[in-house]
Amino acid sequence: MSSTKIIEANIEVHSRMAATYDADEPHFRPENREKVRGVLEQVRARAPGGKLLDMGCGTGFLIALAKGLFDEIHGVDVTQAMLDRVDTSGNVTLHRGACERVPFADGSFDVVTAYAFLHHTEDYAAILREAGRVLRPGGLCYVDLEPNKKFWQAMEALPAAGLPPYVAKARASVLETDAAVEKAFAIPQETFRLAEYSKAVLGGIDVRELESRAKELGFSSCEVRLEWFLGQGDVMHGKSFQIAADVEQYLRDIAPVSDHLFKYFRAILTK
């Protein structure tokens, strides 16, 4: 598949979705914002300095959470309609362009972030390679909300009918999002799938493969953590946050048997 076609699909999709993106996307919910802010605080404590680059910054989800933690923040994205919605007050500078090649010298940053971005690209290793190039020695690359391939495979193997509500909803999120987006935004399903290439076409990212590729690209370590078990948001809001926490801990205790039940993963790579 041509990288140009994938970039063009992303521009088309996110230009149409930009106006309602912050309201529609579940990762903007308060509990996730708090969670990501906590990760950023940990990353900042480990980073050699306070200069951050956010790749695929979109409307500024991560930039907003990084303010007050970093001295200088740069965001890069291909879609101008998304960049137009970023709050650039304070220490934020935006750049329009593809993240496979960003306009910065080697070793320019202490932290590079890529939140819910790698799966929008044809080859996530190209993004990690560029992140490694612009990171200083000891710098960190924080990746998050990326599709766990084992979860995608588990959902694809399920029948279309007769599933419990939580499971049916999870399956639909994997197999029917393109149809829902077409109905809501008049975006052709094929265009949407191209815009989420590593998720919708390749069926997610294998975390073991990511660890291996990170090593090949010169990162000294890659810490992966699976996130958001099947139905976690529904349990939080329909039952309680404590019950959700207890279920999550149990699933972590029985890993790797439970790996396929976590929809996403995050990774912190050290140069």
pTM: predicted TM-score of the whole model, two decimal places: 0.95
% of the chain surpassing 70 pLDDT: 99
The pair of three-digit structure tokens given for residue 187, joined into one six-digit string: 């975006």
Identify the helix (H) or strand (E) that includes residue 134. Answer: helix 124-134
Q: Which domains does the chain have, with CATH numbers?
A: 3-152+188-229+262-270 (3.40.50.150)
* pLDDT above 90: residue 1: no
Identify residue 258 by its one-letter amino acid code: S
Contact between residue 227 and residue 111 where contact means Cβ atoms under 8 Å apart: no
Predicted confidence (pLDDT) per residue in 137-180, tens digit: 999 999 999 999 999 999 999 999 999 999 999 999 999 999 99
Predicted confidence (pLDDT) per residue in 48-96, tens digit: 899 999 999 999 999 999 999 999 999 999 999 999 999 999 899 999 9
Contact between residue 131 and residue 112 where contact means Cβ atoms under 8 Å apart: yes
What DSSP letter does each residue of 62-99 carry, written as one string? Answer: HHHHHBTTBSEEEEEES-HHHHTTS--TTTEEEEES-T
* pLDDT above 80: residue 229: yes
Beta strands in 171-244 (DSSP E): 221-229
Q: For residue 3, what pLDDT is reported?
A: 84
Contact between residue 144 and residue 207 where contact means Cβ atoms under 8 Å apart: no
Averaged pLDDT, 215-244:
97
The pair of three-digit structure tokens given for residue 130, joined into one six-digit string: 């560029």
SS3 for 255?
coil
Number of CB atoms found within 10 A of residue 83's CB: 21
- Across the strands, what pairs with 262? 229
Averaged pLDDT, 23-45:
94
Averaged pLDDT, 226-239:
96
Strand-by-strand arrangement of the 92-96 sheet: 92-96, 72-77, 51-55, 109-115, 135-147, 262-270, 221-229
- Average pLDDT score over the chain: 96
* pLDDT above 80: residue 261: yes
Round to whole Å and give the CA distance between 262 and 151. 6
